[in-house]
């Protein structure tokens, strides 16, 4: 067992194959990097915001870390952990819950059941070929939710429920995208899984 210096609970881990490092995101707003050859902590940096840093991803070439926060995704240089770019969420209040890279596209899963796609080369969200002013977004279906008695008594069944996307990944061919998640409130139970092709 190893302990991260300056860390509270660890929220997310990402293995950087190219740099032979393990990046850790802690609850108190730090990113920590461990050298996997000697298993020693090599870097630790406080992030610009300590609010809801919940997910971490690494680009395939090992050059960039993406950190999902409450209202934006922060891109960091993996060598120095210095911020490169702050990508604001396209929709307010969505909360970034998952992130992944596919070549030069950053896929972002939100707390309101949407997947968004950001083109790193063009420095913008992907836009629809049918309507250029619209961002490409995939929306989840309802999924399954089983509210506790407190929510049932408050008429939860009449409320609209959208699952948060806590994880997502592409298949080996990069033609299908799997997403999974569930309710955002901790007092609710449920799940969601979907595949887009």
At 71 the pLDDT is 84
pTM: 0.86
149 Cβ partners below 8 Å, 6+ apart? none
Spans of the chain, pLDDT less than 50: none
At 156 the pLDDT is 53
Distance CA 197, CA 108 (A): 17
178 belongs to a structural domain: yes
Closest CA to 118 of 100, 105, 109, 103: 105
Full residue range of the structural domain in which residue 115 is found: 10-192
56 belongs to a structural domain: yes
182 belongs to a structural domain: yes
5 belongs to a structural domain: no
148 belongs to a structural domain: yes
CATH of the domain at 126: 2.130.10.10
At 27 the pLDDT is 86
Task: Specify the number of domains making up the chain.
Answer: 1
4 belongs to a structural domain: no
Distance CA 9, CA 17 (A): 24
Q: Residue 110, exposed/middle/buried by CB under 10 A (0-12, 13-18, 19+)? A: buried
197 belongs to a structural domain: no
Q: Residue 160, exposed/middle/buried by CB under 10 A (0-12, 13-18, 19+)? A: exposed
């Amino acid at each position: 067992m190893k302990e991260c210096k300056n860390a509270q609970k660890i929220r997310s881990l990402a293995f950087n194959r190219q740099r032979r490092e393990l990046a850790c995101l802690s609850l108190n707003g730090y990113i920590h990097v461990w050298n996997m050859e000697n298993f020693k902590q090599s870097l630790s940096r406080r992030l610009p915001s300590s609010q809801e840093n919940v997910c971490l991803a690494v680009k395939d070439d090992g050059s960039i870390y993406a950190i999902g926060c409450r209202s934006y995704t922060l891109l960091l240089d993996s060598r120095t952990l210095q911020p490169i770019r702050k990508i604001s969420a396209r929709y307010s209040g969505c909360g970034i819950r998952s992130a992944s890279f596919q070549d030069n596209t950053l896929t972002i899963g939100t707390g309101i059941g949407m997947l968004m796609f950001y083109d790193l080369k063009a420095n913008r969200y992907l836009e629809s070929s049918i309507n250029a002013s619209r961002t490409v977004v995939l929306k989840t279906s309802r999924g399954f939710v089983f509210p506790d008695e407190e929510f049932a008594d408050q008429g939860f069944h009449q409320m609209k429920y959208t699952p948060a996307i806590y994880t997502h990944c592409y298949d080996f061919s990069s033609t299908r995208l799997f997403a999974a998640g569930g309710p955002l409130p901790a007092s609710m139970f449920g799940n969601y899984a979907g595949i887009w092709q």
